[in-house]
Copies of this chain bind each other. A is one copy, B any other.
Amino acid sequence: MVIVMKPNSKESEIKEVSKVVGSLGLRVHISQGTERTIIGIIGDKRRLGDVPLELMSGVEKLVHISESYKLSGKTFKPEPSVIDVNGVKIGGKELVMMAGPCAVENREQILETAKAVKKSGAQFLRGGAFKPRTSPYAFQGLEEEGLKLLAEAKEATGLLVVSEVTSERAVEIADKYVDMFQIGARNVQNFQLLREIGRSKKPVLFKRGTATTISEWLNAAEYIMNEGNYNVILCERGIRTFETATRNTLDISAVPVVKNLSHLPIIVDPSHAAGKSVYIDALSKAAIAAGADGLIVEVHPQPKKALSDAAQQLSPDVFNQLCKDIEGIAKIVEREFKYGG
């Protein structure tokens, strides 16, 4: 970190700042410019804690030189992390495909979907059991009953299961049924939940918030990793912008940016970003071409009858064709995906 002093800061102010920094066990390096003096801080900046240096007399501002996340960053671990989820490796050469309905609705629906997506090449079944919905008048999910149906579908197909948890209570319940937890966009900074997940060690699919910068997202991942759970898979799912043609704006650049800053795998959720099934095919291919480690796509056996987010779910046929195309693009970007159709 660098402390920028005001244009006319006094010698005594510079000394005072240096003294405070020194008292925290850090060293300073003073550099006199033509207009301003800047004070470089040498050492682990976490030692500064919440000391409000920016309020000291003569200080103009603080400038962060390195990011404040550590465990999720490349400086901590330069080579990419490959995360093993009960046998399926995420972040390696092979791409991962997660698919399933927005919400688990009933046995028939989830079994039919599971069989279809398995056939096309998916390794994971997704399905919401705890559904936080924007309107309190909408379908809110089957909760534990839904998780049991997911487990049944896993039994029948061999697919692994990923499902969202929205509270500490949900974590406890879901732990018995899922192979991977999912933290949704709305909970990206629900730090209590993140710590709870951090203590569980089970892999977690960690979605970006719609108003979260990539830097804040990596800092939030730090909450999970700091508790000892390094099995974090990031998931870009669109950010909030002024454009309303799509539900959110898929930040496709997040894929190469995360690859540049972090060792964690990153997959893309085109369904929530687009909000309309007609755009999902294009965004899915774009994500893989951009270097994503996989996709999580909403598929429903009869999209027109879905109880939630019907507009953004693919039919099994459309999903099957998508998987075929993904196999082709994977090769061009030196990845692998086994289309099973």
Residue ranges of A at the interface with B (Cβ–Cβ < 8 Å): 2, 4, 7, 29, 31-36, 38, 40-44, 46, 49-50, 52, 54-56, 63, 65-66, 68, 75, 132-139, 166-169, 186-187, 189-192, 195, 209-211, 213-216, 219-220, 222-223, 226, 239-246, 249-257, 259-261, 273-274, 278-279, 281-283, 285-291, 303-308, 310-311, 325, 328-329, 331-333
Q: How far is the CB of A106 from chain B (nearest CB, A)?
A: 14
Contacts of A282 in B (CB 8 A): 253, 255-256, 259, 289-291
Contacts of A331 in B (CB 8 A): 328
Q: How far is the CB of A140 from chain B (nearest CB, A)?
A: 8
Contacts of A33 in B (CB 8 A): 40-43, 65
**Bound form: Cα–Cα A219–B288 in Å:** 32
Question: How many identical subunits does the complex contain?
Answer: 4
The answer to whether A245 and B50 touch (CB under 8 A), given A31-B31, A136-B226, is no
Q: A186-B190, A187-B190 are in contact. List 6 more A-B contacts (CB 8 A).
A: A33-B41, A50-B308, A52-B305, A52-B310, A136-B191, A246-B257
- The one of B211, B305, B310, B332 in contact with A332, judged by C-beta atoms closer than 8 angstroms, is B332
**Bound form: Cα–Cα A113–B169 in Å:** 37
The answer to whether A34 and B40 touch (CB under 8 A), given A243-B214, A304-B52, is no
**Bound form: Cα–Cα A328–B216 in Å:** 36
Contacts of A226 in B (CB 8 A): 136-137
Q: How far is the CB of A53 from chain B (nearest CB, A)?
A: 9
Q: How far is the CB of A50 from chain B (nearest CB, A)?
A: 5
Q: How far is the CB of A85 from chain B (nearest CB, A)?
A: 24
Q: How far is the CB of A122 from chain B (nearest CB, A)?
A: 19
Asked if A189 contacts B75 (CB within 8 A), the reply is no
Asked if B55 contacts A311 (CB within 8 A), the reply is yes
A sample of 11 inter-chain contacts (CB < 8 A) reads A4-B65, A31-B40, A31-B42, A50-B139, A55-B311, A136-B222, A168-B169, A213-B243, A250-B253, A252-B286, A259-B282
Asked if A46 contacts B256 (CB within 8 A), the reply is no
